[in-house]
Amino acid sequence: MRRAHPTEQAVGIEYYVSETDGVGGRLRADDADFRVRELERFPTEPVDAPTDAYPHLVFRATLRGWDTNDFAARLSDALGISRERVSWAGTKDKHAVTTQLFSVYGADPAALPDVNGAAIEVLGRAGRAIEFGDLAGNAFELVVSDADAPANAAAITEELRAFGGREDGTIGVPNFFGGQRFGSRRPITHEVGLEIVRGNWEEAVLAYVGRPSEAEPEGTRAAREFVAESRDWSEALDRFPNRLRYERSMLHELAECDGDPGPETFRRALERVPSNLQRLFVHAAQSYAFNLMLSARLERGLPFDRPVAGDVVCFADRDAPEGLELPDTDREQRVDERRVRSVARHCERGRAFVTAPLVGTETDLADGEQGEIERAVLSDLDLSPADFDLPGEFHSTGTRRAILVRTDLDLGREPLTLSFALPKGSYATVVMREYLKVDPVALG
């Protein structure tokens, strides 16, 4: 197998599954070259529905140059409300044109602000907030700029069709978590999460505010080096740029402490950041372990498109939009030797999916070879399911996730453009890395 880029290996992605040289080039030369539209699945009532029963205003926003968290903060500031009252189904990238759903508790349509780079369409009201995952998937249209060998895209497509294991033309790739999960330019989020899960609150804070990256400006690197070496929280506040507001929030908590901060103070510092980011720290640790499990499965030569004895599969979501294979991880089954063939037929038809765990307190590990992989990865990371019994937003019961993602893919030329749709939680960059085979920074 072809080894992955070293930056990808740092987040558990060890291999490519296609051997053909990449097309080269880069994504996001312009925001309009990376378009993503949510495949929506959130019902609404009319906008004039009674606000006592339907207090959440739901709208669709098309954003250009906006990180989802930053847009939510801008919106809440303009409305004079807590950012926690703004909800969305999926976090999107800043350097893109994205179309996605938001809900705001207690907002009036007339009060929605005009925001530069945002087009807002009010859809109606709902009785609850949109929650993370309240979508079926995402449709992508991505342009590759400055490709060195665009003709290689056809051969890569054929290899990915073979990996997907079907004869209907769909491609398949390992359902890795992409670099954005960990921080595209500073892949640190999983390291913070690993320290949290191990109960090392101080090391978790220092992983986030310290540990500089070569991709950062010199002044930022110097500030991170200073705080890691000195533990002088007050002085560090003067050195950290205002744009690093989450780091500064943590430092404020530590600077206000009388005496040396203890574990509870470091935990409170982590709790200064938005709740979704607190959850993301732990999710990133789970994602890193998941990536390592998939890499180990590739290394052993086990199939991704069908089960082996001991695997745990989940079944397809019956309400998925037409043409989108959407796993339902609430419907699982352990595959013993007698059922391997029958479940394999379900997998071939897109009715079932082999899974690996996002480990949490309620995780049951697989049996057989996959079980060996899962236990070995957790042992190497010094983790166990019980370690995820954590306070507040850091707690996670865990789930399972399909190890293969399939999609129809259209190739356009001049410029090279790839169009496809993925189920929620799957990353476009995990498809694109197979085509470009470049430094992940070029994938954005």
Cis ω before 415 (30° cut-off from 0): yes
75 occurs within a structural domain: yes
Cα–Cα distance measured from residue 128 to residue 54, given in angstroms and rounded to the nearest whole number: 7
- 8-state DSSP, 63: E
Q: What is the pLDDT of residue 322?
A: 82
The reported pLDDT for the residue numbered 258 is 80
Same domain, 52 and 93: yes
Nearest Cα to 353, choosing from 164, 154, 181?
Answer: 164
- State how far the Cα of 333 lies from the Cα of 151, in Å rounded to an integer: 42
The answer to whether position 193 is within a domain reads no
Please answer whether residues 104 and 79 qualify as being in contact, where contact means their C-beta atoms are separated by less than 8 angstroms.
yes
Decide if 196 is inside a domain. Answer: no
Whether 78 and 28 map to the same domain: the answer is: no
Block residue for tokens 């013993």: 336
- On whether both 398 and 337 belong to a single domain, the answer is yes
Please tell me whether residues 165 and 267 are part of one structural domain: no
Lookup result for tokens 């600077």: 255
Residue appearing with tokens 């993925």:
422
Q: Which of 158, 134, 181 is nearest to 326 (CA)?
A: 134
Residue after which a domain boundary falls, among 110, 133, 156: 133
The alpha carbon of 276 is separated from its chain's Cα centroid by a whole number of angstroms, namely 12
**Overall domain count for the chain:** 4
Cβ–Cβ under 8 Å, residues 301 and 335 = no
Residues 321 and 207 in one domain: no
Question: Both 373 and 288 in a single domain?
Answer: yes
**End position of a domain, from candidates 218, 250, 273:** 273
- Looking at the structure, do residues 25 and 142 belong to the same domain, yes or no? yes
CA–CA gap between residue 391 and residue 275 (Å, rounded): 12
Catalytic residue among 31, 33, 52, 93: 93
For residues 263 and 206, is the Cβ–Cβ distance under 8 A? Answer: no
Q: Which residue has the tokens 């037929």?
A: 345
Check whether residue 393 and residue 285 sit in a common domain: yes
Domain that holds residue 424: 2-32+137-175+406-443
Q: pLDDT tens across 76-101, in order?
A: 999 999 999 999 998 888 889 999 99
User: Other CB atoms closer than 10 Å to residue 85's CB: what's the count?
Assistant: 18
Is 93 known to be catalytic? Answer: yes
Give 150-188 pLDDT, tens digit per residue. 999 999 999 999 999 998 889 999 999 998 899 878 899
List the pLDDT tens digit at each of the 444 positions of the chain. Answer: 899 999 999 999 999 999 999 999 999 999 999 999 999 999 999 999 999 999 999 999 999 999 898 999 999 999 999 999 999 998 888 889 999 999 999 999 999 999 999 999 999 999 999 998 899 999 999 999 999 999 999 999 999 999 999 988 899 999 999 988 998 788 999 999 999 999 999 999 999 999 999 889 999 999 999 999 999 999 999 999 999 999 999 999 999 988 889 999 999 999 999 888 999 999 999 999 999 999 999 999 999 999 999 999 999 998 888 888 999 999 999 999 999 999 999 999 999 999 999 999 999 999 999 999 999 999 999 999 999 999 999 999 999 999 999 999 999 999 999 999 999 999 999 999 999 999 988 887
CATH code, 246: 1.10.1510.30
The pLDDT of residue 185 = 81
- Confirm if 17 and 298 have CB atoms less than 8 A apart: yes
Q: Identify whether residues 425 and 325 lie together within a single domain.
A: no
Q: Which residues pair with 352 in a beta bridge?
A: 315
Whether 382 and 294 map to the same domain: the answer is yes
Based on the fold, state whether residues 162 and 21 are members of the same structural domain: yes
SS3 track for 151-196:
CHHHHHHHHHHHHHCCCCCCEEEECCCCHHHCCCCCCCHHHHHHHH
pLDDT at 228: 94
Same domain, 342 and 297: yes
Alpha-carbon separation of residue 58 from 46, 110, 113, 122 (angstroms): 10, 13, 14, 6
Give pLDDT, residue 353: 98
